[in-house]
Amino acid sequence: MSSANSDSSGNSGAANGTGKPSRYESQKRRDWNTFRQYLRNHRPPLELSRCSGAHVLEFLRYLDQFGKTKVHATGCPFFGQPQPPAPCPCPLKQAWGSLDALVGRLRAAFEENGGQPEANPFAVRAVRLYLREVRDSQAKARGIAYEKKKRKRPPQPQQGHSPQPPLPMVAAPPAMAYARQAADLNLVNGAYTHHLHGHLMMPATDAGGDVVVADAHPGGMIPLSVLN
């Protein structure tokens, strides 16, 4: 266990990359110094090595005189009201959230300053029960609910299953091109399928058998169904 003069050395403060301790480390150092000063002013003075969970509870109750949170007594007419309409003589105490955060910082500072985890007075069951009792009693007296926010974990992919890439989309051939290919397949001796009626058309010929170029008149093409 380190000496009393080493608690303000800041050896447990982690720099935030700029050589200046973070806000959490600075607050933890101040809390540790306050607790060490409380032990020195105790009657009789207490050594840190002899500090127990009972002394931690005494320290937490001692801090209530510096609290700023109104905690209504059971007989107060504003008991259970989060926003009372008028003042009342109920005492001010340390809020449960402040005490819970304070115990967490002191628990870490105790081990960072040479304390053994198994002998940490801030981690004993009596301290945890006290904090739970303060939380429940203040929740009823102040008419509020203390609920810890649950962190949402991102969904993790299942092991052994790799995501399949989407299949590429194959563009369908244009309808006009498909109809044109079908018409080319139906060519028989110069005949082709009429796109309007579906008849197989033969080009018109003259008396000598030569093909005559058809004009826009529908009579230029003769369907085979008519010839037959």
- 65 or 158, greater pLDDT: 65
Q: pTM score, two decimals? A: 0.57
> Cβ atoms within 10 A of the Cβ of 77, count?
11
> Residue 168: CA atoms inside 13 Å, Cβ hemisphere, count?
2
Q: Give the pLDDT score at 94.
A: 95
Region label for 170, one of left (φ > 0), alpha (ψ between -120 and 50) or beta (otherwise): beta
| Cα–Cα distance measured from residue 16 to residue 8, given in angstroms and rounded to the nearest whole number | 18
Helices within the chain (DSSP H only): 23-41, 53-62, 96-112, 125-142, 175-185, 224-227
| Cα–Cα distance measured from residue 176 to residue 17, given in angstroms and rounded to the nearest whole number | 69
| Cα–Cα distance measured from residue 139 to residue 80, given in angstroms and rounded to the nearest whole number | 8
Q: Give the pLDDT score at 6.
A: 40
Q: What is the pLDDT of residues 77-135, one digit of tens each?
A: 999 988 889 999 999 999 999 999 999 999 999 999 999 999 999 999 999 999 999 99
Average pLDDT, the chain: 75
Q: Which residues pair with 6 in a beta bridge?
A: none
Q: Which residues pair with 70 in a beta bridge?
A: 92
